[in-house]
Every structure is written in structure tokens, then in C-alpha cells.
Structure 1
Amino acid sequence: MDGDILHHGAAKTGALFDPATLLRLASATVKPAAESRGVTLDLAVLPGTPSGLVGDVGAVGSLVNALLFSAIDHSLSCPLTLRLSVQSDSPDHAALRIAMSGCFSAVDGFGLGVARRLAADRGARLTIEPLPGSGQTIFLTMPIGLPTRMTDAERLMSWARTRGGRLLVVDDSATNRMVTAGLLSKVGFSVELATGGAEAVLAVAKSAVPPEAVLMDVAMPDVDGIAATETIRSLTGDRGRIPIIAVTANAQPEDRSRCLAAGMNDYVTKPVRRADLLAALERWLTPPS
């Protein structure tokens, strides 16, 4: 009974959900009915089941609830067990498998009838097998999606699009400013620009709403990044604690030490890579309020 469901393929649409949470909610929903019939519930996710599944969690929850209510309604007041697992023969083919066992009569009452209709609508399969002695096991197998694995770069871009925020890019080179600002704005950040250290200090100290982080060039005429950072660190309150990330072509260990000693939080070398910028920002930006 296992193999013929997999040709449907994984359910690619839907939301990411946790099967353990789904069972906890189902248990809470049917608990009053189970207690009234003297039925003990034993619901569990089998080891090795992914903690995240992709699918129509509302439909899956309705199926589980319908099966449980049907079994409770026709139970002989004995324990009822339900086990949830996932079977998969490739990343593109997976099925959710639910096995519910107990001493109940598997008749087409309200709950089981609902479950059969829901299963049929979603290309799933519901079968019933007798247990040795007495009782039944209902098996439900339906297509489900597995979350795709993201690369580190993809994960960081996803984080940036969710996090967003206001950043200040400081560089005396117009080209460098545009490149860095472009990398960041494309993933959802709002970017302000400063042509040197003096402008950076003013942007942090005097703006009605200061930026959430500063990406600071180091070697600049007039006020360089080191001096600008030291001045910002002398400010009182949150403005003096704003994350400052060095973005510099100076890649020697002593350059990094000098930046950190001045009060910078992190260090990214030029030519800049978006993944490096985002990784540094993720380390220092607080979650949005």
C-alpha cells in the first residue's frame, strides 16, 4: 500500500509547518471528546520525520481531526494511538503517512466520511486494516512537500528581505558607494550615502532617525573612517553604540586590529561581496522591533 501514492509527487504549494505542533493542536482539539468516552490518546511523530513540512496545514489538520473524532466516536474505551511519519524516495517525491490504531469499529461515520472526502480531493489514499485479535488500523498517505535547502547566500538574502532596515554607506569613491548601495538595496535595505567621515558623523549624530548600521570606508581624505568611528563612539545614548562595519581594501591583520580598536564592530574587505556584507549585518543588527 506504500508505493502507489508517490507518483503524485510532493505537494509543492502551501506553508511550512511543524508536524509535532500539528499533533499537539489535534490532541488539544479532540481531548474533551476522548475523555468523555474514556479513550486515552497516544499521538506521536516518529523519529527521523523532518521538523518542517510544506503543504496545506489546514487540510492535514482537518484530516487528522476527522480520523481522531471518528475513532473516538466508535471506540470501545481503549487506548488510541496515532503515528505520523514521512516517506520519501527523492527530494521531489514525499508522502505524509499517518497510522491510527485502536479498538474501534471503522464505519463511515461523520469523521471518517469527512476524512475520505478530504483524502480523495488531495490525491491521498485512506485504507483500513484489521488488527490481530480486535481493532483496526487506519492508514492515510498523502503527498507532502519537503523544504528546499538554501545555500548560505540564499539564507542571508532571505534574512535581509525579511529584516530590512536603514543603512548608511560611507565612501569617498562614488563608484564604491553605488556598488555597495546597489547590493544592499536589491535585498530590501534602505540606503543613505555619505562621501566621507565628517558627513557620516553628522548623519549619525544629527539625523532625526539615525541609520541602524554604518558601512564605513577606512582610507578617506579629511576625516577617515577611524576618526569618524571614534567620534561616533563618543556620542551618548544609542547613537554612540550604532554598529559600524569597516569596508576597506586594507586586508592585513594589523588593519583589522586598528579598525576594531577604534570601536568598529566588524570588518569586510573590498571588492565587496553581498554575502560578506549581509553576514556582517546579520551578526550585528538586532531583530526588528
Structure 2
Amino acid sequence: MGVQRGTAFQGSGQGSAKPVALICAYAAGLAYSLFLAGATHNIPTIWTANAVAIAAFMVLNRREALSFMVATGVLHIVLELLIGAPLRFVLIVTVLDTIQTAGTAALLRWMRVPTRVRDPRSLFLVIVVASALTAIGAILVHGVLAASRGAAFFKGWEDWTTSNVLGVAVILPVILILTDHRHREGFHVRPLEAAATLLLVIGASSWVFVNDASLQVLLFAPALLAAFRGGPRAVAVIVTTSLAVAIPAVLHRTGIDIKVALGPLRHALLFHVVLYAVSFVAALALSRQARLQALLLRRQSAARAAQARAQAASQAKSDFLATISHEIRTPLNSILGFASLVADDPQLSPENRRRLDLVGRAGRSLAEIVGDLLDFAKVEAGRLDLTLTPASPSALLRDAVAIIAPEAAAKGLYLRTVCTAEGEGDVDQPVSLDETRLRQVLLNLLANALKFTSEGGVTVRLTAGPTPGLLRFEVIDTGIGIAPEVQARLFQRFSQADSSISRSYGGTGLGLAISKALVNRMGGEIGVESQLGHGARFWITLAAEPATLPVAPEGPTTATPERAARVLLVDDHPMNRELGKALLTLAGCEVVTADDGRQALDAVQSGDFDLVLMDVHMPGMDGLAATRAIRALPTPIAAIPIVALSADVLPEQIARCRAAGMDDHVAKPIRREDLIATVARALETTPYARSDAARA
């Protein structure tokens, strides 16, 4: 029988249920055909047992097929002997039928005829090829039997072959469909409904073919109902049952006279061929649709699961970045803060001041790297939100240049600013911009220009126009330049011109990627023009809506405070408390410290504070819980300004602080200017300058 695609008789191998079911089907088909042959004195009808055997050899594995062969061979011998067939004839027929069916199955596999009937094409292919092979095999088997009895080899083969071909054409696809579990997908018929439909078909077929064959068209209704409700498996059962009932019914109506019965039998078979074709085509189309729907649902489920995993991974990455940035920023706060305090000592020697300046630069560089990583995390997560406020483009540019000017002066480079207007443009006209984000981009471009320039300098140009709100920023340097072949990679993450750049100049390669994301988020474009050794020109184009700067309301001049503001500093880290107290004391504040949220809650109730600076992560009661507890106290204590002093800098972390009741946020590592500005802003909301008598 040969080996095809691995192991001969390759099948599903799903336990013993399938072989047993096929053996039972073989026995039923053989008994049915032998009954018809005996009862009608060999009127040719249909031979179904060989179709079951071919299907079994196609779908069972080697061991199951061998068991099936032995069991069906014994059944064949027993049933043939029970109807009185000679032993010699029975043995020859059994052997020849086994060879024919096994050989047909092997040829079908060798010809790659599908064992799974799942569309009209595969149904047609199975019927045509299997019928042709069965016809050839039946002629040869009949010829051997005839020769064994001394008759002519090709005499009388028509009836034998017709019965075999009809059985294979009708039953083989039915068995292949019934053994394919995929046809169950999308069809869920309750047992009571299935039983009722089957009884309806049996009753209708019996009545129609016994009484009035012209009404056989009525059988299309239950067949198509089975197609829609149960799919190909239901149609296989319904059509096979109808055919099995129709043949005895016709014989009962016409009698067993071959001249009378043969015409109605052929008519009944032809009708069932049409019923078979229509029902199966409809059922296979519906089954394909059901499988596609099931596949779509599985893929949607898999996509949802993958999305959930991606979201979980993104959240884990965000949590990791938040945690690691907090852990890095906390010691950086002490390094930069104390370095700044020590640098103010007038007795510091020049050499120690230089060394201290190196410490500060290293700390700020590390802080910038952490900031870049956090910004990149926001870009990856799509959490870049813009805050549009009226801003003057020229003022914003001058602000950025002023921030970077000391670095240019330290390197002996010029830093020029040029502002021009074209058409209806105005460099001083306020427009709606995210001032913070645009300043971040400009500072990044300016820092890069200074980093890669050792002689000459940097020119920053702002062009407004020709239409209102249209802006173009250009940062032009006289530095090392960029080769054309690497310019396209500059705005990709972790990308630099070559591997030596990071060693010679430092950096993460994230700055330009973040800048591009920010500019794109603003609806603008960013690009570069450069040649190696001839400097670089980075440009940004934006289209912003014209706006109006808010007018500050006129009011009474704030009186000078009669005493120092009392500030409660809450932090579990001793160095942070010492640094914060020193910075606030230099700013003229009276400072009291607390180690955790519980101490802070007790302190605000017993003391008279104008402001609370609250760390977030603390053992016991953390800063968020302490803030909520303070806000729940009676007034005026509940109204005391509370500012978060934390290394948590992600937007969602700052939002949690505000949701807990905090009024503002200062990021660690602390910049003295930011801290003093925030404290001053918070104290403007509290009457800390009132006299003691008024407070009493």
C-alpha cells in the first residue's frame, strides 16, 4: 500500500472511538446491501461497505487500520455465510474487497486527494477520483470472481461495478465528513431537535416513495434545514438516511420484478444525487463561513490576549522606569544639592571648586539621561500630552538661548540670535504653543550644536511668516558636520552618527528621537541639512494659532511679610531632610522636619505652618495618605498648601499627587531655583504674613 506523507494510513489517531464507529458503519452498510441483494434476488442497488472501508483506510493510522481490516474481514465472512453464500466464494470476495479498498485508499493518498471534505471542490474531487478508481477495481474484482467460476473475465461486470461506484460516490464523502471534527464548529444542534428532524426525514421518505414519488421534492426542506442548522454532518446523516429508506420503499411499492423496479430505483437514486449535491454545497459553504467566523473569533481572542500582554509589558516597563528613576534621582538630589551648597563657600580653593564643578556636571549629565529615558517612555506609551498656552516665539527663543549661553561662553563660542519676519508674520506675536515642550526641543538642539562645535559658534534663527502663526526655527553650527548617509538615522532612538560619537561626546542617542516625537505631536516637522566637516543646520517648522497674552489683574501691592514663613519638610531620607532644610533656610524660611506621614499629620495639628513640603514614598503612612488625612482635618489646617517633593516625575505620578490633594510638585533632584520659585508661588496663596495677633 506504500507510504504517503510519513506513515501509511496516517490518520487522526484519536483513541479507539473512531475505529469502533467505522467498524459499526461497515457492518451496517454490509448488512444493508446484503439484505437488499438477498431480498430482491440480486437487483443491483448500492454497495456501501467498500466506501466505509476506503474511508477508514484513509483516516486511520496503521495500527487502527490493521484492527479495522481484521474486524471487518471477520464480519464480512460471517454475514456472507449467514445468507448462504459458499465458503470459497466468501473467502475470495473478502480478500479481493480488502485488496480493492486498501489499494484505492493508497492511490487516493498518493494522488493527494483530500481526506477532509470542506468545500465543493474537494467534494467533487473525492467523488470523481474515488469513483473512477472504484470502477477499475470493481471490474478487476468481478473478473477474478468470474474467472474462478470458469466464466468470461469481462462478462456481467456492469451491475457489480455500478453498485460499487454508487456506494463509493455517495458514502465515501459522507464518512469523511462525519469523521472530520472541524465540521462541528459553528453548529450547535440540540439532541431533541436532531432526533425530530431525523424522524421527519424517515417518515417523509417512507410516505413519498411508497405512495407518491412525485412529492419527493418535499425532502429538500428538511435537508436544507439540516444544512443551515447542523452543517455538513447533519446533511450527511439526513441524505444517507433518506436514501436508505427510499430504496426499500420503492421496492415495496413496485415489487421485486427487475423490469418494474429498475426504473423507479434509478429515479430515486437520481433524485438523491441532486438532493445530495444541493444540500452538501449549501452545507459546505455554511461550514466554511462558520469556520472563518470561529477563526476570526480565535484570532480576535489571541489579539486581545496579545494586546493585554503588551499592555502588561508596557506597564511593567513604565513601573520599572518609574522605580529606577526614583532610586537614581534620590541620591542625585543629595549629590547635586550639597555640591551646590558647598560651591557657595567663599573659602573654597580653586582646585576644589573645579573638582566640585566636575561633580555637578556629572550629576546633571546623569539627571539628563534619566530625564531622556522617562521622556522616551512617554513617547513609546503615547502619553505625550500638550499644554497650549499663549507665548511669544521670540521671548521663548531668547529664554532658551539665555539658559545655554553660559555653556557657550565656557567653550569660547559665539551664540547669536536672529529674528526676522516675512509677510504677515510677527516674531513677537503671541501664539498657542506648549512652551515647555518647545523649549525642551530648542535646548536639545542648542546643546547638541555646542557639544559638536569646538571652534566658531552657533547661530539661532527664528523666521515668522509669511502667514500668521507660521514659525521656522533654525540652529546652525560650525561643528564637525554629519555625513549624508547617516543623517536619516539621527532621529531614530539610540542612534548617533557613528559608534565613536558616544565615546567622544557622550549621550544616549535619545534626544533627537524625543525632539522629533515632540515636534510631530505639535503638528510640525523637524529635519537636518549638513555636510561632514562643514557644520549642521537643524530646522523646525510649526504652524500655531495666534493668541493673546493674559493681562495680569491690577491689585494691591502685597505687604512685606512680618516674619519668616514656617515650612514643614517631610522626608524619610536624612540627607534629603538636611539638604532641604539648608536650601529653605537660605531662602529665609523657618524649617521643621518630619520623618514620615504620621509625624507630619501630628505636626500640622500642633504647629502653625504656612507650607508643607511632602515626600511621596515613605514607610508607614506615605505622602499621599498623609495629604488626604490633612485635607480631612478641620479648617484652616485643611487648607494649608502642600507641595510634593518627590523623585516621581511621570505624568500619572504627578496626577496621583494632585488627586490626593497636593497643590504643586517639585522634582528631585532639586534645583534651587525651582524649589524657591515653587515655595514662593505656594506662599502667595496663604496669609503667612499676618501678625501673630491676627493669627491668634
TM-score range, shorter chain: 0.3 to 0.5
Q: TM-score, normalised by structure 2?
A: 0.18
Structure with a larger share of its residues in helix = 2
Larger Rg: 2
Structure with a larger share of its residues in strand = 1
Q: TM-score, normalised by structure 1?
A: 0.43
